[in-house]
């Protein structure tokens, strides 16, 4: 991208932009929550919409001069509803954490109970970690995995918890779980206790958009929260979608549910946010249009094919994968069981080779979060660069060689050069001016 003005006015920062671009180009981005956006998305982020305040919603703003912002936000909303087949979309959340917080406040009163997935079993910090603001206000109860070898969720335990605690909301979704969820089971349990269902689809939104994974709304979920920058390949931002008001095949559980869109909108603004970032909403609209194209389905299906191939090849080389495989874009590896190397040590070693991934807790981890037993990696970004199954075989090989030769600096330097050379064959989507 052209950054000539930054270069002229602030060369130190321009050098950092350039260095980051080089890092992204010469390495393998394996963090499963990251991706490379298109040039159009990057351009949208840098438009004059960044200058504009527009508190409120289209047609009902608290500032003048909204003729263009209203049009942009309406387009983004329309495209989001079309992608996810739902009645309502709020495109204003700044990111995933505010989207979740706003959703909790939309439906619950302080002290109310919500059931979500245990952090170390794959849930997210915002699903009730005691250090978060939400956990100080609401009563979070956790469910987890029953069988760590298959990844099967303990639905019986979830049912028992629901009957015992009578939650207002039941939350499905994860940031480190490699399997598909049985959304219908969540809906059935929630119906028994009159709870509203939310799926945090931040990680898999692009895979749902591209029809590679199931859409929770098809099973009768009421709400999906998401980020827009992971598999969905848009700008950093959040999204709240809701359904059940018009077209949900299940009967509304409560009169109040019909009001869900209004409750969500009010909870985002003025509830927890101020003015929306309209340049980001423009970029979301651009990304949503890309996700509606037929090529995006090919992308989503290739992400999953690549993840399955990488899982297979790593397992063949002795990497112990939590749940022994993957159904989605991510892999969780127990590095202590595999090679007696901690997640922190592995992250550092791979970083030095240009393989970017992250240390991660594994279910029932006996180690601390800052240096846990596992690593988490995934295929969304490398698939965007055009990598296919055969490339996964190389990556598995490099990951194995890196561990085996972890004390051999000379070997690692040669490996690093090989990875750089390999990556240079694959352009970044932002290179493409068409």
Which residues form the interface with ligand DSN (CB under 6 A)? Answer: 33, 96, 124, 175
124 is in an annotated binding site: yes
Q: In which residue are the tokens 């700044």 written?
A: 94
Could you list the active site residues?
53, 55, 200, 227, 230, 236
Q: Per the annotation, does 119 bind a ligand?
A: yes
Cα dihedral 303→305→308→311 (10° resolution):
-70
Please answer whether residues 198 and 123 qualify as being in contact, where contact means their C-beta atoms are separated by less than 8 angstroms. Answer: no
Burial call 70-104: b when 16+ CB within 10 Å, e when fewer: bebbebbbebbbebbebbbbbbbbbbbbbbbbbbb
Question: Least CB distance from residue 216 to ligand DSN, whole Å?
Answer: 18
- The verdict on whether residue 125 carries a ligand-binding annotation is yes
Q: Three-state SS across 100-169?
A: HHHHHHHHCCCCCEEEEECHHHCCCHHHCCCCCHHHHHCEEEEECEEECCCCEECHHHHHHHHHHHCCCE
Is residue 189 packed enough to be buried (19+ CB in 10 Å), middle (13-18) or exposed (0-12)?
Answer: buried
Q: How is residue 117 written in tokens?
A: 């997935």
The CA distance from 192 to 107, in Å, is 18
Nearest-5° angle of CA 376, CA 377, CA 379? 155
Cβ proximity of 380 and 373 under 8 Å:
no
> Which residue, judged by CB position, is nearest to ligand DSN in the bound state?
33
Q: Closer to ligand DSN at the Cβ: 124 or 308?
A: 124
Q: Pick the closer one to ligand DSN by CB: 219 or 382.
A: 382
| Cα–Cα distance, 114 to 132 (Å, whole number) | 14
**Helix, coil or strand: residue 359:** strand
β-sheet bridge partners, residue 90: 240
Cβ nearer to ligand DSN, comparing 33 with 103 = 33
Task: Provide the minimum distance between the beta carbon of 22 and ligand DSN in the complex, in angstroms, as a whole number.
Answer: 23
C-beta of 430: minimal distance to ligand DSN in Å? 21
Distance CA 366, CA 383 (A): 33
CB of 146: closest distance to ligand DSN in angstroms?
A: 23
Contact assessment for residue 91 and residue 239, using Cβ atoms and an 8 Å cutoff:
yes
- Give min distance, CB of 202 to ligand DSN, in A: 6
Q: Are 288 and 80 in contact (CB under 8 A)?
A: yes
Q: Which residue has the tokens 């509803």?
A: 81
Cα 28 from Cα 75, distance rounded (Å): 34
In the complex, the smallest distance separating the C-beta of residue 98 from ligand DSN, rounded to whole angstroms, is 11
The response to whether 394 counts as a known ligand-binding position is no
Nearer to ligand DSN, 219 or 224 (CB): 224
Would you say 295 or 351 has its CB closer to ligand DSN? 351
Residues 86, 70 contacting (CB under 8 angstroms): no
Annotated binding-site residues for (6S)-5,6,7,8-tetrahydrofolate read 119, 123-125
Feature table: binding site: 119, 123-125
């Amino acid at each position: 991208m052209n950054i000539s003005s930054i270069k002229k006015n602030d060369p130190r920062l321009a050098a950092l932009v350039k260095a980051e671009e080089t890092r992204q180009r010469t390495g393998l981005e394996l963090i499963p929550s990251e991706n490379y956006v298109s040039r159009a998305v990057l351009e949208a982020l840098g438009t004059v919409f960044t200058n504009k305040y527009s508190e409120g919603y289209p047609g009902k703003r608290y500032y003048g001069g909204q003729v263009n912002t209203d049009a942009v936000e309406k387009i983004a909303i329309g495209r989001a509803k079309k992608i996810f087949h739902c009645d309502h979309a709020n495109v204003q959340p700044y990111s995933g954490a505010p989207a979740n917080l706003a959703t909790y406040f939309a439906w619950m009163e302080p002290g109310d109970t919500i059931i979500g997935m245990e952090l170390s079993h794959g849930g997210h910090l915002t699903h009730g970690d005691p250090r978060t603001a939400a956990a100080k206000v609401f009563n979070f109860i956790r469910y987890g995995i029953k069988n760590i070898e298959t990844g099967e969720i303990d639905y019986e335990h979830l049912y028992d918890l629901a009957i015992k605690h009578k939650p207002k909301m039941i939350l499905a979704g994860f940031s480190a779980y490699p399997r598909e969820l049985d959304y219908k089971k969540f809906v059935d349990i929630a119906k028994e206790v009159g709870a509203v269902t939310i799926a945090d689809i931040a990680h898999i939104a692009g895979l749902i958009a591209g029809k590679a994974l199931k859409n929770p709304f098809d099973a009768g979920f009421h709400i999906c929260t998401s980020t827009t920058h992971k598999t969905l390949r848009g700008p950093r931002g959040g999204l709240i979608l809701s359904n059940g008001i018009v077209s949900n095949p299940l009967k509304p559980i409560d009169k109040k549910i019909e009001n869900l869109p209004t409750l969500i909108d009010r909870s985002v603004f003025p509830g927890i946010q101020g003015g929306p970032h309209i340049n980001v909403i423009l970029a979301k609209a651009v990304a949503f249009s890309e996700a509606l194209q037929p090529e995006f389905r090919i992308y989503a299906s290739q992400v999953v094919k690549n993840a399955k191939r990488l899982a297979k090849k790593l397992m063949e080389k002795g990497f112990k994968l939590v749940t022994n495989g993957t159904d989605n874009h991510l892999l969780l590896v127990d590095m202590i069981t595999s090679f007696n190397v901690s997640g922190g040590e592995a992250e550092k070693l791979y970083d030095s080779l240009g393989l970017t991934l992250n240390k991660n807790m594994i279910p029932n981890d006996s180690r601390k979060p800052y240096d846990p037993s596992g690593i988490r990696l995934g295929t969304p970004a490398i698939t965007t660069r055009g990598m296919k199954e055969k490339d996964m075989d190389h990556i598995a090989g490099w990951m194995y060689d890196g561990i085996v030769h972890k004390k051999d600096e000379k070997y690692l330097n040669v490996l690093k050069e090989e990875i750089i050379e390999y990556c240079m064959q694959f352009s970044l989507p932002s290179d493409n001016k068409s």
